[in-house]
Structure formats: structure tokens, C-alpha cells
Amino acid sequence: MKRHLSILTTFTAALLTTSAVFAEQVEERQDPAIGEPAPQFVLNDVVTGEPISLADHQGKVVVIAFQSINCPWNVMRESGGYERYLAPLSQQFDEEEAVFLAINSNHNESAEELASYHEEHGLPYPILKDPDNLIADVYNAQTTPHIYVVAADEAQTLVYIGGIEQIPTSPEKAGEMEENYIEPVLAALFAGEELPYTKTTSKGCSIKRVPKAQ
């Protein structure tokens, strides 16, 4: 518990600093377009409290997954959820070529809860906390998960938005559908070929945004 309190204190201090800086930099454009530079962001790792930016990974393919630790379509468990699929998928790529970043924008899932979840499941990629769902709004992310793939070019071009696969009939079948989207997209990207998909429909729970003032 003392370790988690220390982590949370560090995270909170870093969050206030990073959020203040980012508030001046956040792009107003929503629903980013395929073929345009992906919106930049700086968010804090819930485990280390360190800021991580999209720009940190220029020159690498970046897979961004908006996530939840409560949504049955996403949460890691034996009986379903996309995190059980994304975690091993991320380990198939050399970290110098591709990185996976999970972003949590749910106002009802705290940084401390996210850090505990990350440690419990030994996730191979960081979870970044998106306070006030600023980044979810800029990306127009709607579900957990919602996937965005960024190319390794200098502009960090957004090349894919959508789901992981054809929509399953239930969370228990997540990652098991015959028509997969994300794997052939990544394969084509690394092969320098035309992507088979650029925009598909994502499936998951709605992102729990901060309630708007009445």
C-alpha cells in the first residue's frame, strides 16, 4: 500500500504539470483524418508517473488503444476481453519497430486502480491516464477499445482507425473472429503495401467522459 501511495503521489504531481503544459498545446480538431498527422499528446504513465508523448516514438509504428479496466469488452480475464489479445500481440513486434500505448480516459477509473491492474496482469505496454478525457475528445475515441495506428514516418501519419476485428457476438469471443483487421494492417504497414483497412467500426463500452456541467 505504501508503494502505491508513493506512486500515486508522484503521478499526481506529474499529472498537474503535464496537464497544464498540454492544455496549451491540445489541438482543437476532432475526428482526425486518415492520411493526416496524428494529434500529439503528452500523458503520464500510471505506474511510473513519467510523461510519455506520441513524439517520443517517432520512427516507430504506434498502436494506440483506448482502454478500460471495467469494460467486459476490454478488461483482461480468461473468459474474454480484448486486453488478453492485445498483450501477446504487442510482444510479437520488436520494440524498436512498434510500440503499443494504452490510454485510459474513463473518469471513474483512477490512476491508482490502473496501476494496480497493470501490475496484477503484467501488461507489456504502459497505461497512460487521460485526465478530463482531453485526448479521447481530440481523437474522437468512442469505445474501449478503440484503435488508432500511427505510421513510422516523420509526420506520424494516422493510417488506421477502428476495431480489432469483425464485431464479435459477445465479449467472450473477443479476438477470435475470422476477419481480423489489426494484424493485416500491421503486416501491410511493415511490408510497405497498401493497407487492407483504414477505417472500421470499433466494438466496446462507451468511454466514461467527465459529466458536462448543466
> Is 214 a member of any domain?
no
Residue 214: band (very low, low, confident or very high) from pLDDT cuts 50, 70, 90: low
Q: Which amino acid is at 178?
A: E
> Is 37 a member of any domain?
yes
For residue 171, cis peptide bond before it (omega within 30 degrees of 0): no
Residues 6+ apart with CB under 8 A from 69: 75, 104, 109, 113, 114, 117
Q: What is the pTM of this model?
A: 0.87
Q: Structural domain of residue 185, as residue ranges?
A: 2-206
> Is 213 a member of any domain?
no
- What is the number of structural domains in the chain? 1
Question: How far is the C-alpha of 214 from the C-alpha of 212, rounded, in Å?
Answer: 6
Mean pLDDT, rounded, for 10-25: 44
> Is 32 a member of any domain?
yes
> Is 211 a member of any domain?
no
Residue 11: band (very low, low, confident or very high) from pLDDT cuts 50, 70, 90: very low
> Is 38 a member of any domain?
yes
- Is residue 14 pLDDT above 70, yes or no? no
Mean pLDDT, rounded, for 184-207: 98
> Is 212 a member of any domain?
no
Contact 144, 83 (CB under 8 A): no
- C-alpha 61, offset from chain centre: 13
CATH at 182? 3.40.30.10
Kindly list the distances between the CA atom of residue 109 and the CA atoms of 1, 27, 70, 156, in Å, as whole numbers in the listed order: 18, 24, 8, 29
Specify the pLDDT at position 30: 59
- Tally Cβ neighbours within 10 Å of residue 43: 25
